[in-house]
Amino acid sequence: MFRVELISDTSTATPGWSYAPTRGFDPTQAMAPTLGRKRGIRDTGKGGDISSRQANAIARHLAELDRENQRDVSIPVPVRQAREAGARGTRAKTTSNVRRILQSQKTFRNHLDDEEAAIASGSGGVGGMQGAGGASVVAAKGSKAAAMRRSATPASAVGIKRPSAAMGATGPSTPARVTTDAEADVNDEGRKPKLIKSEYDNDPLLRSYAPPVPSDRIMQRLLAEPPLSYNASRAKPQASGRPGRHFCSVWCVLVCPIEKDPGWSCSTDDFMN
Amino acid sequence: MGTAKARAPPRTPATPTQPVETSRYLPEKTFIIDNGAYMIKAGYASHAPASDESISGCSSIPNALVKTRDNKIVIGAQLATVSDWNEAMFRRPVEKGYVVNWEAEREIWDQSFFDGKVTSRNQNYHIADPEDTTLVLTEAPNALPILQRHADEMVMEEWGFGGYARCLGPTLNAWNEIHSLFGDPVSNTSDASILPADCLLVVDSGYSHTTVTPVYKGQALQRGIRRLDLGGKHLTNYLKEIVSMRQYNMVDETYIMNEVKEAVCYVSNDFSGDLEKAWKSGQKRQGGPEEGIVLDYVLPDPNANKKGFIRPHDPLLHAKKKKGAVSGLSAEVLSEDVLVLGNERFAVPELLFTPGDIGMKSAGVPDMILQSLSVLPTGLHSAFLANVLVVGGNALIPGFMERLETELRQIASAECVVRVRRAKDPVHSTWLGGTRLAANREELSKVSITRQEYQEYGSGWAVRRFAGLV
């Protein structure tokens, strides 16, 4: 017979395993060189216009630019005998928290992966942070905060997805541009849209209004929102869809005076004389 | 110890309506650390921070462990003693703007702030008694909660500060006096306590990344914060890469290339035009030194104790050198190594505006500002666009401000006024804002926790407290 199981949305921390919602196909995962490299290599790129080979090369280049040193080098913190004896004399003993932190050799990448996994299982973010001195009151507050966070997430997600069409428009603005955020409070306390002074003020079709300043209530709600996750706060690709510039590679990078078409390659004569 | 804790809380006479809890003791002395990836900006908040001179209370300490060519390890402020920067290797505790490696960071903090006795030289940044000091520590936006917790635990358990506030770095800039910067009338309420600006859009372009933070009355609008993972480090590395490909192998010369970058790079306001010009002057093979885009950078020579410097490009220098002493050049000139910098000068900082040039699928700084605004109520757009403040080291690249203002003007809504200003001192601006926050005791105590509270509730609580959830 069939077995029907209700998957709970809450994060019941079952040791060993848990249901983690998949968020569709993740291009960053696909770019990891360890995963299905051979098969993926000639696929047309996940980004649309580049192959995954190019995508890999770009990812590697970016990682290279992010390095502190060209070579891996270990620079140990000098050992100090004096620390324990003299300087530390007045200080309290090193706590277990401190010892754990100091011994951690995790990189930012490790921490980020942990956090992403926690978010996927629903226990990420500040709300998931349980106190070392976590009394039951604290725990209850924590879960409330987590619930708040969840409810807030769709709203902010919608907000992010919304294109900056309203901002991109350079024509005269109309009251219709007041977006959902402000809509509820448009009529609060006589917050009428302000007329923008122009020579067309008498023309009902052309006169334009400045959107009203949101009410305090909205501002308080916005200020109370939790931070976005590290990856969610990353800048998105350009909305205008302006095609990227292409320079031809190696020698020509930036040596050629003209921006080239992607398919164009310059002859060596261009820069040999 | 005990007497210090039992002391009554410092009351500010200006706040009679807000009764301060008598059990809460927040030390009066406030130390501010703006813990940048490249440089720590630290110092005590003075009691009269209104003047600009208070910046003199700020010390900049390199946030790095360095291994020099002769395998010596040099830490923090000692870096000033290094004369030979060739092949110097760096270890930085801060990754992506967040303190990740506390082992190294503790060493740097210990040496800078806690070791030894107070002397006239270090009195500005020596913390003799942490339990009697309130620490204001900045962090980059969108930090991972686990890293925030690490920071809290280190501050409260390793050093045991009496009071502690962890704030978003960019928001502190709103506390600075920015009205005069934007040419607005300065409010005449000089006797009132210091308050943050209403609306300020802070662009912080630092060493490891560039962030855009909309700040409303001193608080960040979290949903509007955007980050571009490009900063001064990437520019230096990119310059290093280009130069190594075309001229000398400089891949191990991070420090020197950083100096070169600071000396020659600029943001072009006419990219293709400048590209053309640089190309043309590269074509010429005759004539002496000339004014133009192409520059020569003479690399430092630690053996002769000479620093690097720039001079106008001499296209014939290479040919003359080949001839050797016959050409009449002095031995000094013959022995020097020269980098010729043409389009590298502006193609490198260009990354901040078109990250697509290195294949990065991300918008540049001006477009990022619009992305940030697009999730905020339309009514706020004009206020933020009229108050764009740029801080961080990259703001010092010539042409950066002009380019940002021009591009933002082009893509922003036509009715909005666009005003982009550089903070008076873009590197120390955040720190200075911290001192002004510290001067407003009431606000500071709202965002701070005390040692006692931490001991009572623990670090998990502290993280939620600073996130505004408790």
pLDDT, tens digit (0-9, with 9 covering 90-100), for B17-47:
444 445 678 888 889 999 999 999 988 887 6
Q: How confident is the model at residue B246 (pLDDT cuts 50, 70, 90)?
A: confident
Q: A234: which DSSP letter?
A: B
pLDDT band at B164 (very low <50, low <70, confident <90, very high): very high
Chain A residue with CA closest to B235: the answer is A65
The answer to whether the CB atoms of A101 and B150 lie below 8 A apart is yes
Q: Hey, which residues does B168 pair with through a beta bridge?
A: B139
In this complex, which of A148, A159, A245 lies closest to B354 when CB atoms are compared? A245
- The predicted pLDDT at position B194 comes to 72
User: Do residues B275 and B343 touch, judged by C-beta distance below 8 A?
Assistant: yes
Whether B177 shows a pLDDT value over 70: the answer reads yes
Q: Which of A87, A214, A253 sits opposite B380 (nearest CB)?
A: A214
Q: What is the pLDDT of residue A156?
A: 38
Chain A hits for B368, CB-CB cut-off 8 Å, are 235
Query: For B323-338, what is the mean pLDDT?
Result: 74
Q: Do B242 and A213 count as a contact with CB atoms less than 8 A apart? A: no
CATH of B191-229+356-421, one of 1.20.1050.10, 3.40.50.620, 3.30.420.40, 3.40.50.1220: 3.30.420.40
* Chain B touched by A178 (CB under 8 Å): yes
The pLDDT assigned to B388 comes to 92
B390-404 average pLDDT score: 92
What residues of chain A lie within 8 A of the CB of B469, using their CB?
126-127, 141, 145, 148, 226
Phi, psi of B420 (to 5 degrees): -120, 125
Closest residue in B to A116 (Cα) is B144
Would you call A36 an interface residue with chain B, using a CB distance cutoff of 8 Å? no
How near does any CA of chain A get to the CA of B324, in Å?
A: 24
Residue A118 has pLDDT above 90, yes or no: no
Res A258: pLDDT: 47
Q: What is the pLDDT of residues A43-59, one digit of tens each?
A: 444 445 667 888 888 88
What confidence score (pLDDT) does residue B349 get? 92
Residue of B360, B409, B410 to mutate, testing the A interface (most A Cβ within 10 Å of its Cβ): B360
Given a cut of 60, whether residue A38 has pLDDT beyond it is: no
Quick one: pLDDT band at residue B283, thresholds 50, 70, 90? low
Å from B139 to nearest chain A CA? 13
CATH 3.30.420.40 domain residues, chain B: 27-175+424-465, 191-229+356-421
Q: Examine the pLDDT at B245 and tell me if it is beyond 70.
A: yes
Decide which of B402 and B282 is more confident.
B402
Kindly state whether A45 is in contact with chain B, defined as any CB-CB distance less than 8 angstroms.
no
Are the Cβ atoms of B216 and A98 closer than 8 angstroms?
Answer: no
Q: Is the pLDDT of residue A260 over 50?
A: no
**CA–CA distance, A59 with A9 (Å, rounded to integer):** 34
| Nearest beta carbon to residue A230 from set B144, B251, B413 | B144
Percent of chain B with pLDDT over 90: 26
Dihedral pair phi/psi, residue B98, rounded to 5°: -115, 145
DSSP code per residue over A3-71: ---PPPSS----SS-------S--HHHHHSTTSSHHHHTTSBPTTSSSBHHHHHHHHHHHHHHT-SSSS
Confidence check: pLDDT of B203 > 90:
yes
pLDDT higher at B97 or B319: B97
Mean pLDDT computed over A221-230: 87
Residue contact A244–B66, C-beta within 8 A: no
For residue B48, give the amino acid letter. Answer: A
Of the pLDDT bands very low, low, confident and very high (cuts 50, 70, 90), residue B171 is very high
- Are A58 and B360 an interchain contact pair (Cβ–Cβ within 8 Å)? yes
B-chain CB neighbours of A87 within 8 Å are 110, 114-115
pLDDT for the residue B190:
52
Question: Is there a contact between A128 and B145 if contact means CB atoms under 8 Å apart?
Answer: yes
Give the minimum alpha-carbon distance from B123 to chain A in angstroms, rounded to a whole number. Answer: 17
Nearest to A134 among B95, B356, B460 (CB): B460
pTM of the model: 0.78
Residue A187 has pLDDT above 50, yes or no: no
Instruction: Compute the distance between CA of residue B449 and CA of residue B456 in angstroms, rounded to an integer.
Output: 11
Question: B27-175+424-465 has which CATH code?
Answer: 3.30.420.40
Tokens 């002095």 correspond to what residue? B330
d(CA B88, CA B67): 6
Q: Are B164 and B454 in contact (CB under 8 A)?
A: yes
A8-17, B342-351, B362-371, B403-412: least confident range:
A8-17
pLDDT band at B400 (very low <50, low <70, confident <90, very high): very high
How sure is the predictor about B253, in pLDDT bands with cuts at 50, 70 and 90? confident
Least confident of A67-76, A123-132, B281-290, B366-375: B281-290
Top residue of A46, A50, A58, A69 to mutate, by most chain B CBs within 10 Å, is: A69
pLDDT confidence band for A116 (50 / 70 / 90): confident
Mean pLDDT, chain B, integer: 83
Residue B469 vs residues A214, A226, B301: alpha-carbon distances, Å: 23, 8, 55
- Strand pairing class (B134-139; B30-35): parallel
Query: Is pLDDT of B234 > 90?
Result: yes
Does A79 contact B at CB distance below 8 Å? Answer: no
Nearest Cβ partner for A132 among B107, B383, B458: B458
Nearest CA-CA distance, residue B237 and chain A, Å: 5
Selected residue with higher pLDDT from B47 and B142: B142
Q: Does A102 touch chain B (CB under 8 A)?
A: yes
Mutate to test the interface with A, among B96, B340, B374, B407 (most CBs of A within 10 A): B374
Nearest neighbour of A156 by CB, restricted to B146, B223, B373: B223
Q: Which of B115, B142, B279 sits opposite A257 (nearest CB)?
A: B279
Please indicate if any CB of chain B lies within 8 Å of the CB of A103.
yes
For residue A196, the cross-strand partners are A208
Nearest by CB to A73, which of B89, B106, B219?
B89
Q: Does residue B180 have a pLDDT over 60? A: yes
Q: What number is the ipTM of this complex? A: 0.81
Residue A174 pLDDT exceeds 60: no
Selecting from B252, B376, B415 the residue whose C-beta is nearest the C-beta of A208 gives B415
Put simply, the answer to whether A78 touches B73 (Cβ < 8 Å) is: yes
pLDDT for A149 beyond 80? no
**Binning pLDDT at 50, 70 and 90, where does residue B270 land?**
confident
CB pair distance less than 8 Å for B363 and A227: no
Return residue ranges of chain B for CATH 3.90.640.10. 231-345
- The beta-carbon neighbor of B91 closest among A75, A135, A173 is A75
What's the pLDDT band for B139 if we cut at 50, 70, 90? Answer: very high
- Is B323 a residue whose pLDDT tops 60? yes
Average pLDDT, chain A: 62
Pairing between strand B134-139 and B163-168? Answer: parallel
Second CATH level (architecture) for the domain B231-345? Alpha-Beta Complex (3.90)
Contact B363 A173 (CB under 8 A): no
In B, which residues are within 8 Å of A148 by CB distance?
469
Q: Is the pLDDT of residue B389 over 90?
A: yes
Distance (Å) of CA B361 to CA A130, A268, B195:
36, 30, 39
3-state secondary structure of A195: strand
Taking contacts as CB-CB distances below 8 angstroms, the residues of chain A near B354 are 244-245
- Indicate if the pLDDT at residue B202 is higher than 70: yes
Q: Are strands B290-298 and B226-228 parallel, antiparallel or unpaired?
A: unpaired
A164 with B370: Cβ contact below 8 A: yes
Quote the pLDDT of residue A261.
44
Least confident of A263-272, B216-225, B241-250, B291-300: A263-272
Please tell me the predicted confidence (pLDDT) of residue B47. 62
Chain A partners within 8 Å of B381 (Cβ): 167, 211
Nearest alpha-carbon partner for A111 in B233, B63, B458, B151: B151
Residue-wise pLDDT for B114-124, tens only, equals 887 777 777 77
